[in-house]
Amino acid sequence: MKSGRQAGRAPALIHQAIPSQAVAEFVMSSGYDGTIVDLQHGEVGLDAAVAMLRAIPRDRNEYAYARVGSLDPAPILRLLDSGARGIIAPTIETADQARALVEATKYPPLGGRSLGPSRPSLYAGDDYVAAGNSAVSAIIQIETARGRENAEEIFAVDGLDSVYLGPADLAVSYGLPGRGDWTEGPVYDAVLELSSMAHAAGLTFGLYCASPAYARDLIAAGIADYVGLGIDLVLLTRTAREAIESLRSTS
């Protein structure tokens, strides 16, 4: 998600923890704007992730994101060369960590990403390096109290594009239940605070939402520029549970 407010409808992305090219294709055809291929949680390995990214149509891959498990530049490079348009780095707590993400994600002079012909014409433009830096988003995930405390310094790092908030882990860092969709307390306060700070720094702001209604309210209020809406495994489990409970219901 590039810096600055996005015009029109706020994008909705699904977290994809199932290592499947078909899921990526079906999600995109269902109306979602993009996917977050999750290498941090779930069973998606690097080889599966690059195949999933290639399954997303090139004309609809603006929000083909990958959440990595670490700031190791090697897998980040492979994900980008396979078509990832954004890298989400979880548990960012310092400006140095944010700079490491930019270094791995952006071409010089912003970062140190290497040029490599993994896919033809990946970025359109006369200046391929500038086009690549514009097309790819460096996204920091704030999900701890420490990350929130250091937000001002982190958000000032040159080359960042967006902030993504992880409400469940942030809640745990405050000694609260690990869930999302908070409407009060320190997690909700952090949502409001970090959204305002991100926008002031020229960054977009998104967060994971479990409920479409909750996501809609944040978007309508101008708090969220985009949302992660649901996890494929959770949605599959919920649908399966509802189906079997309906079959076996005696009412």
In a domain, 4, yes or no: no
Q: Are 75 and 50 in contact (CB under 8 A)?
A: no
Quote the number of domains for the chain. 1
Q: Which residues lie closer than 8 Å to 187 by C-beta, 6 or more apart? A: 167, 170, 171, 174, 176
User: 164-179, pLDDT tens digit by residue?
Assistant: 999 999 999 999 999 9
5-33 residue pLDDT tens: 444 589 999 999 999 999 888 888 889 99
What pTM was computed for the model? 0.93
- Structure tokens, 181: 């969709």
Instruction: Answer whether residue 5 is part of any domain.
Output: no
Find the CATH number of the domain harbouring 80. 3.20.20.60
Boundaries of domain holding 62: 12-248
Q: Per residue in 156-212, pLDDT tens?
A: 999 999 999 999 999 999 999 999 999 999 999 999 999 999 999 999 999 999 999
Query: Is 41 one of the annotated active-site residues of the chain?
Result: yes
Catalytic position from the list 4, 26, 41, 189: 41
Q: In whole angstroms, give the CA distance from residue 240 to residue 224.
A: 30
Please indicate, yes or no, if residue 213 is contained in any of the structural domains: yes
For residue 99, give Cα distances in angstroms to 10, 21, 79. Answer: 27, 31, 18
